[in-house]
């Protein structure tokens, strides 16, 4: 009775974000077992590591799960090859041109969703034949669109434009926000930050601790001249900010970022010198919890919000 | 039965933003007559002009209306004086310290709401004794908070913190968005952009035309080193962007802005050289309409969303 749940054959229209350094088989299988859709994040994996995670995920759940493939890495072809060999049936693509792989993946019987942050790419993805769109607002962690359009504005903007199922991403870690996103026209939600901070996330405990400690204004969209990315404030963030305030260009920012900075922060736990990617909604996340409790809390809050809004709607 | 409607004695919990150059007596009285709360925006008015607008507004409506007072202008004391002399009973303050006038206004029997964009000022305003808070997200037009927190994240963040009625601002021009904001914990909404583009707005027709033509990514938060302000893209915007990309500081930006730039754009209709302040939601506004049709459309959409979400909530 819900287009996202039906498409992926899951209990709740709740998709876990396929985040680098956090979304291994432990997280993906836990989300699928909890009634959502788990996604292995291939962006930070060598192809054989991805294969290993897929195999372990199959052992850990008999529920559907998928793989997220960011299209900006050089090894994408190898990732796709592993996905086909391992019989994966759900692929989320992001950060690239949806025209490149969608038709090919669909021919292999794979359900394809693509992440967009503007109208142009939403139309392009639908033309390419995607089964669903992830509509990602400015408040999301990691790489965001240049337009900076927030979930509140972006979801209805894309809803008016296309008829495929929409999955709202960015700013969602509660049932209230899920309910709000669906009121705006989404059929389901994608949740990153809350799962990055979960017990089953492969992010470093020190990174998770930084997420739950994050308050008001703890993140900022940076590196707009390179690729916009939402970062948690730390020493590295301050270096980027100083460089940008001086007017630093693409090359300087790229050099400052260097290589392995995201791994250093999120996986190895150097929370000052590393790059920490997280959404604004970190400010609403209070503790590291197991995935099943996160999903239950979201669905309980969704049901409470439904009852509350039913009352409020009748009074207005 | 709604805390915002009850507080201001209005039919719908819909407050019009008190915007410079757009919110004169024509707009404020039209919104109040349509069942919302109209606000005269004093920020762009000399005290005697404000007095004239208040008197005309009283002639044009027998419903409650108020005055918005941005606390960053030198003439604030004079504005407050006029407000008292003219017997205004509702004041919205913004862009400044709520501790400065709230207690004094309350002693005069005035209902006071204050606009905030972060936790710190929300607490400060509640301590100062405000009757309601306007919680303004990053997507809003005009001056925004430095934290860049979006409505989706900010409303629940402030809802957890305080018990006064909350009015959600930023990104709202439809009943769907109003319903979403209330699901997040708001008691009502403040709407700016949609009313800036209304027939009764005193904005220049060329400015209104630019609003309804605005698409995806047509606005951007600029001047963060001076006072962050969301601008519609035009020639002036490009000058600011070039200066900021070079690393321009506060002084250079202040000089570039000069004096009278907002009047030039929004009131005199020089849509290239003038400063055009509008929210991201401009991308969802399609035509210049009279206020009563805007309010009706929002409330119809709210009711439809209520019915739709009641169905969806039951299915999940």
Range of the domain at B58: 3-202+284-310
8 Å CB contact of B152 and A138: no
Residue A36 domain-assigned?
yes
CATH code of residue B39? 3.20.20.70
Apex A265 CA angle, A264 and A267, nearest 5:
70
- pLDDT recorded at residue A296: 98
State whether B73 and B119 are in the same domain: yes
Find the distance separating the first CA and the last CA of chain A, reported in whole Å.
Answer: 28
State whether B83 and B163 are in the same domain: yes
8 Å CB contact of A156 and B147: no
User: Is residue B73 very low, low, confident or very high in pLDDT (cuts 50, 70, 90)?
Assistant: confident
CA neighbours within 13 Å on the CB side: how many for B314?
Answer: 6
> For chain B, how many structural domains are there in total?
2
Identify which of B156, B284, B315 has the shortest CB distance to residue A153.
B284
Backbone angles phi, psi at B142, to 5 degrees: 70, -150
Apex B45 CA angle, B39 and B47, nearest 5:
100
Query: What share of chain A has pLDDT > 70, as a percent?
Result: 100
B286: left (phi over 0), alpha (psi -120 to 50) or beta: alpha
User: Searching chain A, which residue's CA lies closest to the CA of residue B299?
Assistant: A316
Q: Please answer whether residues A180 and B181 qualify as being in contact, where contact means their C-beta atoms are separated by less than 8 angstroms.
A: yes
State whether B168 and B243 are in the same domain: no
Q: Please answer whether residues B1 and B27 qualify as being in contact, where contact means their C-beta atoms are separated by less than 8 angstroms.
A: no
- pLDDT recorded at residue B185: 98
CA distance B141 to B171: 9
User: Searching chain B, which residue's CA lies closest to the CA of residue A138?
Assistant: B150
Q: Is pLDDT at B316 greater than 90 in this prediction?
A: no
- Residue A171 CB partners (closer than 8 Å, separation 6+): A137, A139, A140, A150, A151, A177, A279, A280, A281, B150, B152, B153
8 Å CB contact of A312 and B120: no
Residue B207 domain-assigned?
no
State whether A214 and A238 are in the same domain: yes
Q: Is pLDDT at A73 greater than 90 in this prediction?
A: no
Backbone angles phi, psi at B294, to 5 degrees: -65, -50
Domain boundary among A202, A227, A242: A202
Identify which of B139, B156, B180 has the shortest CB distance to residue A184.
B180
Apex A12 CA angle, A9 and A13, nearest 5:
85
User: Searching chain B, which residue's CA lies closest to the CA of residue A224?
Assistant: B245
Task: Chain B: give the shortest CA distance to residue A62, in Å.
Answer: 22
- Residue B188 CB partners (closer than 8 Å, separation 6+): B2, B3, B4, B5, B13, B14, B15, B165, B166, B167, B168, B182
Q: Can you tell me the ipTM of this complex?
A: 0.97
The alpha-helical segments, DSSP class H, found in B100-150 are: 102-107, 119-128
Task: Chain B: give the shortest CA distance to residue A59, in Å.
Answer: 28
- Tell me which residue of B77, B68, B156 sits closest to B113, measured CA to CA: B68
E strand or H helix at A178: helix A175-183
**Chain A positions in Cβ-Cβ contact with residue B172 (cut-off 8 Å):** 152
State whether B71 and B173 are in the same domain: yes
CA distance B71 to B74: 8
Pairing of strands A90-94, A166-169: unpaired
Find the distance separating the first CA and the last CA of chain B, reported in whole Å.
Answer: 28
**Chain B positions in Cβ-Cβ contact with residue A305 (cut-off 8 Å):** 183
How confident is the model over A15-37, as a mean pLDDT?
98
CA distance B277 to A263: 40
Task: Chain B: give the shortest CA distance to residue A150, in Å.
Answer: 7
Select the residue from B117, B124, B147, B153 to test the A interface by mutation, using most A Cβ atoms within 10 A.
B153
Domain boundary among A176, A202, A228: A202
**Chain B positions in Cβ-Cβ contact with residue A247 (cut-off 8 Å):** 245-248
Task: Chain B: give the shortest CA distance to residue A4, in Å.
Answer: 11
Residue whose structure tokens are 């606009």: B115
Residue B316 domain-assigned?
no
8 Å CB contact of A180 and B181: yes
Select the residue from A170, A216, A251, A302 to test the B interface by mutation, using most B Cβ atoms within 10 A.
A216
State whether B298 and B188 are in the same domain: yes
* pLDDT tens sequence across B100-146: 999 999 999 999 999 999 999 999 999 999 999 999 999 999 999 99
8 Å CB contact of B152 and A157: no
Q: What is the mean pLDDT of chain A?
A: 97
* pLDDT tens sequence across A267-283: 999 999 999 999 999 99
Identify which of B174, B183, B308 has the shortest CB distance to residue A305.
B183
State whether B272 and B185 are in the same domain: no
State whether B169 and B300 are in the same domain: yes
CA neighbours within 13 Å on the CB side: how many for B75?
Answer: 13
State whether A180 and A218 are in the same domain: no
- Residue B7 CB partners (closer than 8 Å, separation 6+): B111, B131, B132, B165
Residue A212 domain-assigned?
yes
| Chain A, chain B: beta-carbon pairs less than 8 Å apart | 180
- Tell me which residue of B248, B283, B241, B278 sits closest to B262, measured CA to CA: B278
- Beta-bridged to residue A190, according to DSSP, are A15, A169
CA distance B34 to B11: 9
* pLDDT tens sequence across A94-143: 988 999 999 999 999 999 999 999 999 999 999 999 999 999 999 999 99
Q: What is the mean pLDDT of chain B?
A: 97
């Amino acid at each position: 009775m819900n287009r996202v749940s039906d498409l992926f054959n899951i209990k709740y229209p709740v998709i876990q974000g396929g985040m680098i350094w956090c979304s291994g088989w432990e997280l993906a299988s836990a989300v699928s077992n909890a009634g959502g859709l788990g996604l292995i994040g291939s962006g930070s994996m060598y192809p054989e590591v991805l294969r290993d995670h897929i195999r372990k995920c199959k052992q850990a759940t008999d529920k559907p799960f998928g793989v997220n493939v960011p299209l900006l890495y050089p090894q994408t072809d190898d990732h796709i090859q592993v996905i086909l060999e391992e019989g994966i049936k759900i692929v989320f693509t992001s950060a690239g041109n949806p025209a490149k792989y969608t038709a090919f993946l669909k021919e292999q019987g794979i359900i394809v969703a693509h992440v967009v942050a503007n109208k142009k790419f939403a139309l392009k993805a639908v033309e390419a034949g995607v089964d669903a769109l992830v509509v990602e607002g400015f408040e999301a962690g990691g790489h965001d669109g240049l337009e900076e359009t927030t979930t509140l504005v972006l979801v209805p903007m894309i809803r008016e434009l296309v008829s495929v199922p929409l999955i709202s991403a960015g700013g969602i870690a509660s049932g209230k926000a899920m309910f709000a996103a669906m009121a705006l026209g989404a059929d389901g939600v994608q949740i990153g930050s809350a799962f990055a901070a979960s017990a089953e996330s492969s992010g470093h405990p020190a990174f998770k601790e930084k997420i739950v400690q994050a308050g008001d204004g703890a993140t900022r969209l940076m590196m707009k001249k390179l690729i916009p990315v939402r970062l948690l404030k730390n020493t590295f963030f301050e270096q980027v900010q100083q460089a940008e305030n001086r007017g630093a260009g693409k090359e300087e920012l790229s050099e400052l970022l260097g290589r392995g900075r995201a791994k250093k922060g999120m996986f190895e736990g150097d929370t000052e010198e590393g790059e920490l990617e997280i959404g604004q909604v970190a400010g609403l996340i209070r503790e590291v919890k197991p995935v099943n409790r996160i999903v239950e809390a979201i669905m309980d809050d969704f049901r409470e919000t439904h009852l509350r809004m039913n009352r409020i709607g009748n009074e207005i």
